[in-house]
Structure formats: structure tokens, C-alpha cells
Chain A
Amino acid sequence: MVEPIAVQLNGVSKMRKRRVIGPIDLTIPEGYVVAILGHNGSGKSTLLNMLQQIVLPDSGEIIWFGQEKHSGTLPIELRQQIGFVADNSGIEENRMTPQEAADFRSHWYPRWDMKLFKQLITDMDVPSDVKLTKMSKGERRKFEIAAALAARPKLLLLDEPSSGLDPFAWKVMVEQFRDYMEGGDTTILIATHIADEVKRLADYIVLMHRGQVLGMAEKDLVLEQWKEIWYEGDLRPENIPGVVESFQEENGLIRVITTRVSEAQERLELSDHRVLKIRNLELGEVLEYWIAGYAPVQWR
């Protein structure tokens, strides 16, 4: 079965102040939440900005929704299907209340859903009679999320959407994004540093490092591939399958990080070495190993 494609980048690159981003080759299938991860300055925002043509690539091509190539700019009817929640909000709507801004946007987006907008504003507890510029950072962010969803985009680009949100609003936001994905033909790309967001939302992870895309992998496989095993005894770590790093701990205990946990566990048990503990690595630890060159194994 060939999956429809939300967006595809072929050899896309962009010169930025500090480094060159790309060349990026990346295919995002439709209907998934894809988390874009990486250190600050790794190119995540540039990637998202190129996907909605706020920034134009120096070379390479971007194909949206599998459409044939279009010269230069993105046709308006495709553009209207792309939503964006940016790290810093635009100034055009500063003097408007949420409802005025919604009326303004509804002219631009043919699929605008005012009922959904009002419901989201209520659910996320956004004040309705305050000008956007008078709002707190978190309130403004909640408005931006509601407005992005109400436009019913096929492709939603989120640049650290939860920054400034309180935990209650964060929970509502995660639920709203999930609900929005129910239809199956929408796609979310989310740049984030919040491990919990990745865990709760993402289907795939794209890892960026120094302007390059290191790869794209299924989140569940990424998160369960690296395990830490503590064991007792004299078996040398290099004789254990999949070991990428090992540590001699106190009391004769050895701690190893492995990507082949079942085989490693079997090897230890067969040779009578007591396994004291198996722990799943945290997302941050996993990404460090990935960046160091241990790419996750894909589903076979």
C-alpha cells in the first residue's frame, strides 16, 4: 500500500547566519504526527518556515500534498491548507480581540470552522474581550493554537506550541491535537523540546543536528530500543549483544547500554549472571546516542 504524502523535500538547503541548513531529503506521510527534535539552532524552525514558504530555500524542491511541481511560489489553495503556530506571533492582529481576529482569518481560510474556534477558546480558557497584544504569552499562544485548528488545515506546522502554557492548557492542547488527527487525512509537524509531548503525540521522530536531518524513525521503536541493564558478575560487556556503552559501577556491578535487550538478557541469564535491573532510556539520552551515530533500527 502506498501512503499518500503530506510533504516531500528533495535536496532542500538554506544558508543561515550561523550554518547551512540541509541539504534535506525528507518525506512526511499523510495522517501522522511527526516530532522534529534537535538542539537549539539545529535547523528545526528553518525547516518549518520553509514548509510554509516564510523562508524560501536556496536550492532543492518542496512538494506539498503530492502536487506536481509549481514554479516558485506556493499556489494559494495549497497555502490555505497549511496552518502554523509560530514561536513568535505576528503583529497584524495585535489590536484585535480573539473574535475579531477569527473573523479576519475566516475570510482567508475557506474551511474555517467558527464553531470549533469558539469551543476551543472556551475549553482553553482564553479571555474573549481582551486585545491580543494585552494577553499573557500563554493566553496568546492558546489563541494561536485555537485559530490554527479552526482553519482546518491539512498540514499543521507547530513550532514549540506549548511554550508558556500552564499544565491544564497543555493537557487540553494535546487532546485537541489528537482529536484533530481523528479524521486521518491531516498531518502535524511539531518542533518541540518537551519529552512528554513527543511521547503523547508523536508517531514518528525526525532528528535534526547541525542543519542535517539524521533520520526519521517510528517513535515507539526509538523509545524502546535503548535499554540500560545492571548486572552482577564477570562477563565482559563486549560479549553482550548490542552494547554501545558500558560502565563499571561500585560493588562489582556492571551497567551497560544495549540496543538488543532480549538477546543481551538471554546471554546474561544463560551464563548465570544476575540481572538486577532493566531500564528504558529517557528520550534525551536516546537522542544523544542517535546523534553519536547509533541510529535506531527500523521495523522489519
Chain B
Amino acid sequence: MQDVRIPIQINENSAEPLYHQIENQLRSLIITGQLGEGTHLPSIREFAGALNCSVITVRRVYQDLENEGLLRTKQGTGTFVAQVEAGERENYRLKAAEEAMQAAVQSGKAVGCTEEEMEVLFREALRANYSK
């Protein structure tokens, strides 16, 4: 069985914990379909070696994503990307966007932006990204 190389970029100087960085990037690769259903993921030791992190961290990430239904582990054969239903994918997609939006709003609120100011900023961001 051919293992895929998983394009995960770790930023050591980020405030985001290592395990978060790996988990978020792997989740996004699965949800966006870049890692298709049935893809055989590297063994925990192999992946840890490629990322220069410990097996404990990789195991934690695999377990979390398995609990979310994105991965499944077959005894003896390894860890695979699970089937992500179109509806589920849609849910995950919206959930990811919603979480990012929440975080943005919270940051704005934290530095004292009013609701009106946030709305203006939101519309500007939409214009900047969606209209040609």
C-alpha cells in the first residue's frame, strides 16, 4: 500500500500548540477532499518522524479526528480517511467558516469595536474577497 505524503506545515514560533496546528491542517485536508476517502495515512511513528513530533501528539490528533468521524482505524492495517458524506462535508465546511468568523468577531470585540464598526468591516472584507 502506498502511503501519501501529507502536506502539513508546522510553525514552531507560533503561539498555537503543535497538536492544534497538526489537527487543524489535517482536518482541513480531509474536509476539502484533498485527502480522499480511503486514503491510507502514515503510521503514528512514521507521521511523527516526518513532523519531528512525538507519537503522543500524533496519536492524540488521530484519536480526535476519529471521534469526529473523519478517520477510521482498522486493527492491524492502519488509519484511513473515512467517508465524508456530502451533507457532512457541507456541515464541516460551514462549521469551519463559522468558527473562524466567531474568532474574528471576538478579536474585534476584545479591542473595543462596536457592532456597527464590525458590520462595516465585515462588508469591506466581503467586497475585498468576493467581488472581482
Q: Which residues of A contact B (CB under 8 A)?
A: 31-32, 175, 178, 181-182, 184, 199-200, 202-204, 218-220, 224, 227, 261-262, 265-266, 269-270, 278-280
Contact = CB atoms under 8 A, between A and B. Distances in A.
B13 A280 contact: yes
A278 B19 contact: no
A270 B110 contact: yes
Nearest to B57: A220
B15 A203 contact: no
Contact of A220 (B14, B45, B49, B54): B54
B12 interface: yes
B45 A280 contact: no
A219 B54 contact: yes
A161 B67 CA distance: 39
Interface in B54-93: 54-57
Given A220-B18, A280-B13, A203 B43 contact: no
A278 B54 contact: no
B53 interface: yes
Interface string B109-126: 011000000000000000
A181 B55 CA distance: 10
Contact of B15 (A184, A199, A219, A262): A262
B56 A203 contact: yes
Interface residues of B, number: 20
Contacts of A203: 48, 54-56
A275 to B, nearest CB: 9
Contacts of B54: 202-204, 218-220
A299 to B, nearest CB: 8
Contacts of A218: 54, 56-57
A99 B50 CA distance: 33
B13 A279 contact: yes
Contacts of A270: 110-111
B129 interface: no
Contacts of A31: 55
Contacts of B13: 227, 278-280
Contacts of B110: 266, 269-270
Given A220-B56, A262-B15, A269 B111 contact: yes
A220 B19 contact: yes
9 contacts: A184-B45, A199-B52, A203-B56, A204-B54, A220-B19, A220-B54, A261-B15, A279-B13, A280-B12
Interface in B1-34: 12-15, 17-19
For the complex of A and B, the 8 pairs showing the least CB-CB separation, nearest first, are A203-B54, A261-B15, A280-B12, A178-B49, A220-B57, A220-B54, A219-B54, A262-B15
A200 B52 contact: yes
Nearest to A180: B45
B46 interface: yes
Given A200-B49, A280-B13, A224 B18 contact: yes
A30 to B, nearest CB: 12
B111 A178 contact: no
Given A203-B54, A203-B55, A218-B54, 13 more contacts: A178-B45, A178-B49, A182-B45, A199-B52, A202-B54, A203-B56, A204-B54, A220-B18, A224-B12, A227-B13, A266-B110, A278-B15, A280-B12
A220 B46 contact: no
Contacts of B56: 32, 203-204, 218, 220
A71 B15 CA distance: 51
Contact of B46 (A182, A227, A261, A278): A182
Contacts of B15: 227, 261-262, 265, 278
Nearest to A275: B15
Contacts of A175: 49
Contacts of A204: 54, 56
A277 to B, nearest CB: 8
